[in-house]
């Protein structure tokens, strides 16, 4: 199996979508928004529609928009964290068959965080085309037809489905469906669409464990199982940096397609782990175990062992220089580490990541059987 970006980011996307307890998450969002900057408000007097808005990236977008002075309306099914943002206007509907709440309404901009099926994006974009100025679609770097080992830019080929009408989201169809979503939005609103392609999104409110595991585990201290090649480059973007760039594209009327991966400059696995140790004041020590041994011991890549992709499975890097030139700014990795650790207060935040018992078993195998 090719351990492709399409497969592992599909799993990550589903992991980040699961909802925490509504009341607890609302409290977390409130704390995150307490220190929002004040000053210039380019959105003052303007209105924004967010399709979704109550899971992971969504609350960060809402906070960034409110800080910039926007009047925000949310449209969703009202099932995920319905008590979040009690002071905002909330329109209830279903993207698959009921957009009636959006009819006859006007907004200056719309951010689509919940589009996975091209037909759904086509419906929303066509309905809103005459009533919004800009449509921002949150896509994914999984759109690329990625054979592995390449540097991908916005002009790299995207994946294609044998049957473009299929609507089942799987590890193989996830990226090509997102590419078709981008095309549907652009067809409905030519020249007024911004397609943003993030990679792994991390930070506060991420309960998938795909990054959260590392600050949590290293803060506990002791011997830590460290995966594979210490110098392997890793890629992720803080959800708040992605939200800020999204708002920047709207404020500056930036259109087109942008990879939004990171961090910049590149960070290795070793740098991340030692960064967690330094930022959190931990006494952790790291035992690096080679890829082939981790696989032999039955350790799962990426989901169980966060951020680890064995070297035998080539994966590509998405070049984000176009987005950086357009205004994408990265916060220090230490800030992401600290804020993620300070937020994490719920068992679900570790997702399917490595359990303490299995880590101890693998370390025991490595020390006693291999050496």
- Of 35-44, 210-219, 348-357, which gets the smallest average pLDDT? 35-44
Give tens-digit pLDDT for 148-182: 878 899 999 999 999 999 999 999 999 999 999 99
- Of 37-41, 109-113, 169-173, which gets the smallest average pLDDT? 37-41
Confidence (pLDDT) at 317: 87
Q: In the block, which residue shows the tokens 């140790």?
A: 277
For 82, the 3-state DSSP assignment is coil
Q: What percent of the chain stands above pLDDT 70?
A: 88
Give tens-digit pLDDT for 174-233: 999 999 999 999 999 999 999 999 999 999 999 899 999 999 999 999 999 999 999 999
Strand-pair category, 109-112 with 134-138:
parallel
Comparing 7 with 183, the larger pLDDT belongs to: 183
Confidence (pLDDT) at 314: 80
Confidence (pLDDT) at 138: 98
Highest mean pLDDT among 213-227, 250-264, 347-361: 213-227
- Mean pLDDT over 284-310 rounds to 97
- Of 42-51, 138-147, 281-290, which gets the smallest average pLDDT? 138-147
Largest CA distance in the chain: 70
Confidence (pLDDT) at 17: 41
Q: Is the pLDDT score of 266 beyond 80?
A: no
- What lies within 8 Å, CB to CB, of 215 at 6+ separation is 276, 279, 280, 337, 338, 340, 341, 344
Q: Which stretches within the chain are classed as H helix?
A: 5-17, 22-33, 57-67, 118-128, 174-188, 213-220, 239-251, 269-280, 291-296, 321-326, 333-343, 356-365
Cis-peptide into 10, omega within 30 deg: no
Confidence (pLDDT) at 149: 79
Q: What is the mean pLDDT of the chain?
A: 90
Confidence (pLDDT) at 14: 52
- What lies within 8 Å, CB to CB, of 162 at 6+ separation is none
- Mean pLDDT over 31-41 rounds to 57
- Of 187-191, 234-238, 263-267, 284-288, which gets the smallest average pLDDT? 263-267
Confidence (pLDDT) at 10: 58
* Structure letter (DSSP) for residue 100: G
Q: Is the pLDDT score of 34 beyond 80?
A: no
Q: In the block, which residue shows the tokens 């960034």?
A: 64
Comparing 29 with 364, the larger pLDDT belongs to: 364
| CB contact at 8 A, 311 and 318 | no
Q: Is the pLDDT score of 15 beyond 80?
A: no
Confidence (pLDDT) at 269: 97
Q: CATH: 3.30.1450.10, 3.40.50.300, 3.40.190.10, 3.40.50.720. Which one for 5-307+316-370?
A: 3.40.50.720
* Bridge partners, 233 (sequence order): 268
């Amino acid at each position: 199996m090719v351990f492709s970006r399409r497969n592992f980011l599909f799993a990550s996307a589903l992991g980040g979508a699961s909802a925490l307890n509504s009341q607890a998450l609302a409290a977390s969002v409130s704390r995150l928004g307490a220190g929002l900057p004040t000053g210039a408000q380019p959105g003052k007097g303007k209105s924004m529609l967010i399709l979704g808005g109550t899971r992971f990236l969504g609350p960060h977008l809402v906070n960034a928009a409110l800080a910039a002075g926007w009047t925000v309306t949310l449209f969703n099914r009202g099932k995920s964290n319905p008590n979040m943002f009690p002071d905002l206007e909330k329109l209830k509907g279903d993207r698959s068959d009921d957009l009636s709440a959006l009819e006859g309404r006007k907004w200056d901009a719309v951010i689509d965080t919940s589009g996975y099926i091209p037909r759904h994006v086509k419906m929303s974009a066509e309905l809103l085309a005459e009533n919004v100025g800009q449509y921002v679609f949150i896509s994914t770097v999984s759109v690329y037809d990625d054979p592995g080992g390449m540097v991908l830019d916005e002009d790299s080929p995207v994946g294609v489905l044998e049957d473009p009408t299929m609507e089942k989201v799987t590890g193989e169809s996830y990226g090509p469906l997102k590419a078709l979503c981008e095309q549907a939005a652009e067809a409905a609103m030519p020249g007024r669409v911004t397609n943003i392609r993030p990679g792994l999104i991390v930070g506060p409110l991420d309960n998938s464990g795909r990054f959260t595991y590392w600050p949590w585990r290293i803060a506990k201290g002791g011997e830590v199982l460290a995966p594979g090649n210490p110098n392997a480059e890793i890629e992720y973007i803080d959800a708040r940096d992605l939200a800020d760039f999204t708002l920047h594209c709207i404020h500056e009327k930036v259109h087109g397609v942008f990879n939004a991966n990171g961090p910049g400059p590149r960070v290795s696995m070793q740098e991340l782990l030692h960064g967690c140790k330094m930022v959190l004041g931990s006494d952790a020590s790291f035992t690096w175990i080679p890829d082939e041994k981790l696989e032999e011991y039955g350790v799962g890549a990426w989901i169980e062992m966060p951020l680890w992709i064995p070297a035998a499975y080539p994966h590509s890097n998405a070049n984000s220089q176009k987005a950086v030139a357009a205004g994408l700014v990265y916060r220090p990795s230490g800030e992401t580490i600290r804020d993620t650790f300070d937020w994490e207060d719920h068992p679900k935040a570790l997702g399917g990541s490595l359990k303490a018992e299995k880590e101890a078993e693998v370390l025991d195998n490595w020390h006693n059987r291999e050496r």
